[in-house]
Amino acid sequence: MATSDSFMMDSLSDSLLAAVNEMSFNEPVHPPVAEKPLKPLSELNLPPSVIACYQRSGISHLFGWQAECLEKASASGKRNFIFSAPASGGKTIVSELLLIKSILETKRKALFIEPYVSIVQEKANYFRKLFSSLHLRIASYANTNDSHYSFSNSHIIICTIEKANSIINRLLSNRNDLNELGIVIVDELHWIGEINRGYLLELLLSKIIYYNQLQTTNNPVQIIGMSATIPNLKQLAQWLNADIYETLFRPIPLDEYIKIDSILYNKQFIPVRQLQLCEQWNQGDSEGVTEIIWNVIEHNCRSVLVFCSTKHWCEVLAKLLAKNFQYIINDKQINPFDKIKLDDVIEQLCRTPAGLDTDLACSIPMGVAFHHAGLTIDEREIIENAYRANIIRVIVCTSTLSSGVNLPARLVIIRSPLQNGRCIDLSTYLQMVGRAGRKGYDDYAESILICSKKEVDLVQKMFEQQTTKPVHSCFFETETHTSLKRALLEIISSGKANTKEQIISYLRSTFFYTCTNSDRSTIDEQSTIDKCLSWLSHNELIHCIDKENIDNENNIRYEPTQLALAVISSAINPDDGLKLVVELNKRNI
């Protein structure tokens, strides 16, 4: 039998091909999922009104791990708490129950942070429906179409990372500080390591940690973090001073395959299935994606997600699938799609401000849509709702959907292991395949990574990682210090750290400081802070006040200028703020 070390793509014997050819694509054997017994909500320490909310939604029990995690988090009191479970493992309901318990017990607000605008809106609508009987005011802050509820009049605030940072800045600069806030929940905590936006998440959490450490703080803000892909969870817990809960439980078994030519392999690259594909049904589709998806739609009556590397390829593949589906329907005289409901989806898209996209007009009649950042919010919402209702059966999307909107599928296909010319990492792969499997609908789920022979080595190396890469701080970049300058400006403007000693104490509250200590890295923090403070002062974003007129840095107090306050209110970094001022001055505005 071939192994991952010895297997050669061109060395399969005829007998082996014949053997795998007899294995059915649609009849896998799955052992029962080993898990602790379900626990009734009524046996947990939850208010009856909350239990009633979930019972109306058809939820009366928790998985054993969910109940155990909830009990551990509750037992820790107001201590920070982070937990990890596989995608589709049921993390969300634990965070919801921790949130609602905090609101009802502390009478303080809750902040729920999501990485994407689309999921903020989905979460807000879900909470409004779920907790409707509790008469809670739920606000969403993600873009210009924010909730009509103000922060002060809301109980639950759901927002993006950027909006959350602005909220924390505003609260810290007020007299009541963060007293209004009882709990902050961070979905997808691994986003701290995201190169473009991760530092903002770290920045806002560091401010909360620093605030909690101040002696004047009587009501610390609790931080709850959750993720599916953080191998260095203990390091994050050290930074957050948090308790931990981890589980590998996944309620729906997932079979993961790699497709090379017409053969499916497991993750050890041992061949397990031979696909017999009809060339006529896969015109222009050399990988046979059309027929694979059609089998799921026709025989399983389920939905499929297909991940493509670019927006353009999403649109191209969606149109190709629709064209081939039409051929299959004509050939088999079978149409599994609901034409009336699909026509209604098209009519909804026609009524949006953007109108009906010509490519969507071609694909949706065949139950196929694409989903990427090029669509408007209204378009994405219509497509998502139609997919959840099993009207649209296939969504071709970019990788952002893997950690965004909750759209599980019976089958997930990753069209290529390459993104931007590089192989995806294990974390991205797990996020994508984690979309497969819907509790209550599927007994099992499958994923297929399509791979060329030339890409085999790259994919093998990805799987050989065994674990995802550790999450590292993106707070400190050595050239421009953009993140650090923003961090200093925001904490100085808040009035919570205005002396050199306080500023250093604040920076020691960052994940970056924890990482450098763990890695025994040597960073000249004093020199770096001095450079950033000098830059902020030189560009008139802060000014120095020497209370006793003594040339002693311990007596110097740093205060923000009006320009600094304007930059912070605009939620931009100091470098961009100065560029904007220069451009405005050029135009004499």
- Residue where one domain finishes, among candidates 187, 222, 246: 246
8 occurs within a structural domain? no
Residues 275 and 321 placed together within one structural domain of the fold: yes
Number of domains into which the chain is organized: 3
pLDDT digits (tens, 9 = 90+) for 285-299: 989 999 999 999 988
- Residue where one domain finishes, among candidates 436, 464, 492: 464
Asked if residue 23 has pLDDT above 50, the reply is no
Residues 293 and 412 placed together within one structural domain of the fold: yes
pLDDT digits (tens, 9 = 90+) for 387-396: 989 999 999 9
Asked if residue 569 has pLDDT above 50, the reply is yes
Residues 232 and 354 placed together within one structural domain of the fold: no
Four-residue CA torsion sign, 496, 498, 502, 503: positive
Q: 497: pLDDT confidence band, cut at 50, 70 and 90?
A: very high
Residues 522 and 576 placed together within one structural domain of the fold: yes
- Residue where one domain finishes, among candidates 405, 429, 464: 464
Task: Return the higher-pLDDT residue of 463 and 224.
Answer: 224
CATH number of the CATH domain containing 511? 1.10.3380.30
Task: Return the higher-pLDDT residue of 225 and 3.
Answer: 225
Asked if residue 218 has pLDDT above 80, the reply is no
pLDDT in the model for residue 7: 34
Dist. CA 402–CA 186, nearest whole Å:
17
Four-residue CA torsion sign, 535, 537, 541, 546: positive
Residues 563 and 578 placed together within one structural domain of the fold: yes
Q: Answer yes or no: are the C-beta atoms of 41 and 54 closer than 8 Å.
A: yes
Residues 460 and 414 placed together within one structural domain of the fold: yes
127 occurs within a structural domain? yes
Asked if residue 157 has pLDDT above 70, the reply is yes
Are β-strands 80-84 and 222-227 bridged in parallel, bridged antiparallel, or unpaired?
A: parallel
Dist. CA 60–CA 52, nearest whole Å:
9
- For 236, list phi and psi in degrees, rounded to 5: -65, -40
pLDDT in the model for residue 545: 84
pLDDT in the model for residue 21: 40
Residues 330 and 446 placed together within one structural domain of the fold: yes
pLDDT digits (tens, 9 = 90+) for 378-425: 898 899 999 989 999 999 998 877 766 678 889 999 999 998 888 988
3 occurs within a structural domain? no
CATH number of the CATH domain containing 263? 3.40.50.300
Residues 22 and 43 placed together within one structural domain of the fold: no
Residues 229 and 266 placed together within one structural domain of the fold: no
Residues 56 and 181 placed together within one structural domain of the fold: yes
pLDDT in the model for residue 9: 37
Residues 500 and 422 placed together within one structural domain of the fold: no
Asked if residue 482 has pLDDT above 70, the reply is yes
Asked if residue 355 has pLDDT above 50, the reply is yes
pLDDT digits (tens, 9 = 90+) for 301-332: 789 999 999 999 999 999 999 999 999 999 99
- Overall pTM surpassing 0.75 (yes/no): yes
pLDDT in the model for residue 216: 66
169 occurs within a structural domain? yes
For the chain, the residue count is: 589
Asked if residue 589 has pLDDT above 60, the reply is no
6 occurs within a structural domain? no
1 occurs within a structural domain? no
436 occurs within a structural domain? yes
Asked if residue 32 has pLDDT above 80, the reply is no
Which DSSP category does 132 fall into? Answer: G
Asked if residue 13 has pLDDT above 50, the reply is no
Asked if residue 172 has pLDDT above 50, the reply is yes
Q: Give the percent of the chain with pLDDT over 90.
A: 54
pLDDT in the model for residue 402: 75
3-state secondary structure of 170: helix
Residues 452 and 510 placed together within one structural domain of the fold: no
- Cα–Cα–Cα angle for 127, 132, 136, nearest 5°? 75
Q: 147: pLDDT confidence band, cut at 50, 70 and 90?
A: low
Q: How far is CA 18 from CA 1, 14, 22, 273, 413, in A?
A: 14, 6, 7, 10, 25
Domain of residue 205 covers 39-246
Asked if residue 3 has pLDDT above 60, the reply is no
369 occurs within a structural domain? yes
